[in-house]
Amino acid sequence: MLPEVVEALVAEGWHVVLPSRRYSPIAEPETKPGIAALRKLRPRGNRPTANGAKGRGPRAIWVEAHWDRPRELAGKAGSALGGPADLLVAWVHEQYRRSVLGACERLLAPGAPVVEVRGAGGPQDHPEPVLAAHPTQLVLVGAISEVGDRPMGHAEVSQGVLEAVSRAAAGRPASLHQLGQSRPLVL
């Protein structure tokens, strides 16, 4: 659902695994001269997965997966990862959230940050992250944009999630991010 986020992560040198029902190709970033040297100059806290160091450079790999089969999803994602994940970005339907994230927790490196994306307006005023052992940037996506009276745009959601990913990769403390408004304002 967030191809711009995947493309940005791959461009930054991450090895990304995309479990979903449908295949949606992600463009491979162009390799530019000196890119290896630039990658060595990463800001502190940015930890692309070690899989790139094993000859499996930055790329996005799709694996067929279904939210209602969380152990199978985690197994396929784990095989594609080839080692512990240094970051988890998850936008999972509410009814499957706990089972999917719980099954995927074993795939994470100790202390790996999580960016958990949810729809705003749920039953809780202050939702708690599912994976308490991992610092979590919780992103609540509203239905209405803060820019004008229109539905949230895909670009707005992607930008907000990328900001949370940057905070997570930099090792910033867990925090809550609200994107847009949870429902239309009635005057």
SS3 percent helix, strand, coil of the chain, rounded to 5, is 35, 20, 45
Is residue 90 domain-resident?
yes
Provide the pLDDT for residue 166: 93
Is residue 186 domain-resident?
no
Cα–Cα separations (whole angstroms), residue 66 to 21, 56, 75: 6, 25, 12
* Each residue's pLDDT tens digit, 114-148: 999 988 765 555 678 899 899 999 998 888 888 77
Is residue 48 domain-resident?
yes
Mean pLDDT by 10 residues, the chain (187 residues): 85 86 67 50 47 57 90 93 91 91 94 90 69 92 81 87 93 90 63
Is residue 184 domain-resident?
no
Is residue 185 domain-resident?
no
CA 152 – CA 141 distance, rounded (Å): 8
To the question of pTM greater than 0.85 for the whole model, the response is no
Provide the pLDDT for residue 52: 42
Is residue 187 domain-resident?
no
Provide the pLDDT for residue 181: 80
Provide the pLDDT for residue 110: 93
Is residue 67 domain-resident?
yes
Provide the pLDDT for residue 50: 43
CATH of the domain at 49: 3.40.50
CA 113 – CA 165 distance, rounded (Å): 9
Domain tally, the chain: 1
Provide the pLDDT for residue 185: 53
Q: Which residue type occupies 152?
A: M
CA 54 – CA 44 distance, rounded (Å): 21
Is residue 47 domain-resident?
yes
Instruction: Print the domain residue range for 173.
Output: 3-179
